[in-house]
Amino acid sequence: MAGKLPTEMTAIAIAGPGGPEVLWPERRPVPQPGPGEVLIAVSHAGVNRPDVLQRQGSYPPPPGASDIPGLEISGTIVALGEGVPGDKLDMAVCALVTGGGYAQYALARVDHCLPVPYGLSMAEAAAFPETLFTVWHNVFERGWACDGETLLVHGGTSGIGTMAIRLAKLFGLRVIATCGSDEKCAQAQALGADLAINYRTTDFVAEVRGHTDGKGVELVLDMVAGEYTQRNLDCLAVDGRLVTIAVQGGALAQINMARLMVKRQTLTGSTLRARSDTFKALLADEISANVWPLVATDRLRPVMDRAFPLEQAAAAHARMESGDHFGKIVLEIAPQA
């Protein structure tokens, strides 16, 4: 253990399902690491859409997870659980967690941590795990993306969208993004998107078909579902793949199965939070080998929107729900006094 640790910490609690105002700072016991776990003194925590859904009462934490929101953090390892090598102590890391990130201290599986390379700020490090793990798994593992293919990603200026654009371009894909305004379309194109479509003023299906000379795209990364599902399938080429990672437009969809069969399309999806520790450790290994060298050499960075103090978590959620953000929102956690 790195010095004497406090017994209590400040954490953000959810008073009950509702708007951002239900997020309140309160005192909680500092958690103790179990076998294979580390205790991290949190520097920054990423703010993600699942946190908003948890606050609203529609995305409860899985069994055994902390009720404190927050799925990604950066900080310094200050205590080790049984079986964790001693050289991990005092290491600066970012980590994927199942909850507990909005706090001064949080637990993480040691094999869900990645070292923070030189030149990467702790705010940027906290913006990586949830989005990077999600995009890598769904675009490259479930979506079988290959260089030379075209990816359609919705919400191109969100945390997921900006990460998808940057990562896809680094791996040789063409990218089409949808955004909610002309300004956001310009931001997505400045980030690397080959085409950005204002979905509020333009039929994105027609634009995609036109841009690809009627062929369609090989892959769609979708966070909307609902009525977007058939429209996404209409954007796909023969043997195209649709990967859904959220249902912001509704969980139910009606699709033309005959058309799907004729075009041999694949419809799949996933969630990350409830997956097993073993799965997440394997995913961390994949990212460490294939993506983290790009981070270490400054070729991949998250797009950063704003940092809010931990006590202003409600304001951070309000900004995310406004849709005005460009990239990642993070919370900055003051050290324990």
In order of start, what are the domains of the chain with their CATH numbers?
Answer: 8-128+273-332 (3.90.180.10), 131-269 (3.40.50.720)
CA distance 190 to 186: 6
pLDDT at residue 2 above 80? no
Q: Which of 197, 168, 164, 171 is nearest to 182 (CA)?
A: 197
What average pLDDT does range 274-283 have in this prediction?
A: 96
Assessment of whether the complete model's pTM goes beyond 0.85: yes
Q: Report the 10 Å Cβ neighbour count for 207.
A: 19
Cα 328 to Cα 4, 48, 69, 123, 285: the distances in Å are: 33, 8, 16, 10, 23
- How confident is residue 322, by pLDDT bands cut at 50, 70 and 90? very high
What average pLDDT does range 230-243 have in this prediction?
A: 98
CB 125 within 8 A of CB 101: no
pLDDT of residue 190: 97
DSSP characters for 158-191?
SHHHHHHHHHHHHTT-EEEEEESSHHHHHHHHHH
Number of H helices, E strands in the chain: 11, 15
pLDDT in tens, 33-57: 999 999 999 999 999 999 999 999 9
Structure tokens at 188: 């997505």
pLDDT of residue 313: 98
pLDDT of residue 4: 86
pLDDT of residue 1: 43
CA distance 129 to 120: 13
pLDDT at residue 306 above 60? yes
pLDDT in tens, 78-124: 999 999 999 999 999 999 999 999 999 999 999 999 999 999 999 99
CB 217 within 8 A of CB 176: yes
The three-point CA angle 164-302-94 to 5° equals 110
Share of the chain above pLDDT 70, in %: 99
Structure tokens at 317: 């959620």
Q: Could you give the 3-state DSSP secondary structure of residue 279?
A: helix
- How confident is residue 336, by pLDDT bands cut at 50, 70 and 90? low
pLDDT at residue 170 above 50? yes
pLDDT at residue 337 above 80? no
